[in-house]
Amino acid sequence: MFDTLNEAEWDRVDDAWDLLESADFEKARVAVDGLIQARGRHPDLALLDAALAIEEGRAEYALQGLMDAESSADPALFFEVRALARFHLVEPDLALEDAEKALAIRPHMAEAHALLAKIHDFLGDSERSAEHAETAFELDPEDFPLPLEMDDEAFDALVEGSLNELPERVREALQELPVLVEPMPQREMLVAGRPPLPPDILGLFVGRHLLEREHNELPGSPGAIYLFRRNLLRIAADREDLTREVRITVQHEVGHLLGLDEDDLDAWGLA
């Protein structure tokens, strides 16, 4: 049984949440680890730790750690964070249950509505997805703008234009494989490795990168780059922003084709 956090500790918790929400994950991690070192895995610290771990790409750790957070002071936030962890682990049905529990406690929780929009989109229920997206927008238009609207033909044309604007070195690499547009990623794509990839990824390279191929291997397609239209439309503020996100996504997936790590991307013009 843990003692209640004191006022100074709650101030530190609030500061850590602010760092997390501003995407300053390194400073947030220092703050969270310091709190846990001082107070142990207090339920409210375990909840904060899990939320940060999800942003760090450690959803499995987050879900396990949430077992220590079940008695946190904010049950709605607990269920929303657990729903997010399960969504990232490609457990949409369980994520749906938790997100709905969060809304049962706090009906006007914009984050839960936004997450339900993603979950329903992944499950193929575009109508329910749109309903929750609209509610999230009404509750918090700054953090949860409505997805950009664009028909498939216009999106494909924008992708084609974005590919033509890529650096020459990247366009040469793209001769090796097609760039394919899909509405959403298939579950099989996401769970092919461990940990799984989250359903809201923007793009994915599927295949073997060039450094894995033998010098005497017969020519052939090493795979494909997939762009996921609905995920890209959800994060883009306007057409210009969408063009930029498509370009960045393709460049990074080309980096995977070439077998580059993050340190190499800038040298290749892929950052």
Name the average pLDDT for the chain: 89
Same domain, 135 and 156: no
172, 237: one domain: yes
Boundary residue ending a domain (69, 104, 139): 139
Q: What residues contact residue 78 under an 8 Å CB cut-off, 6+ apart?
A: 47, 66, 69, 70, 72
What is the number of structural domains in the chain? 2
Are 62 and 53 spatial neighbours (Cβ–Cβ below 8 Å)? yes
Residue in the structure block whose two tokens are 């190499």: 264
Which pLDDT tens digit goes with each residue over 136-171?
A: 999 999 999 999 999 999 999 988 888 888 778 777
Same domain, yes or no, for 120 and 212?
no
Q: Are residues 132 and 212 in the same domain?
A: no
Exposed/middle/buried for 103, CB within 10 Å: 0-12, 13-18, 19+? buried
pTM: 0.89
Residue 2 lies in a domain: no
Q: pLDDT for 164-215, tens place per residue?
A: 887 787 777 777 778 899 999 999 999 988 899 999 999 998 876 544 444 4
Identify the band that residue 264 occupies on the pLDDT scale cut at 50, 70 and 90.
low
On whether residue 247 sits in a domain, the answer given is: yes
Q: Which residue among 114, 139, 164 closes a domain?
A: 139
228 and 190 in a single domain? The answer is yes
Q: How far is CA 234 from CA 47, 123, 144, in A?
A: 27, 16, 9
Domain that holds residue 66: 7-139
User: 22 and 130: one domain?
Assistant: yes
Q: What is the pLDDT of residues 34-45, one digit of tens each?
A: 999 999 999 999
Same domain, 16 and 62: yes
Q: Distance between CA atoms of 5 and 42, rounded to whole angstroms?
A: 8
Q: Are residues 52 and 168 in the same domain?
A: no
> Which CATH number goes with the domain that contains 186?
3.30.2010.20
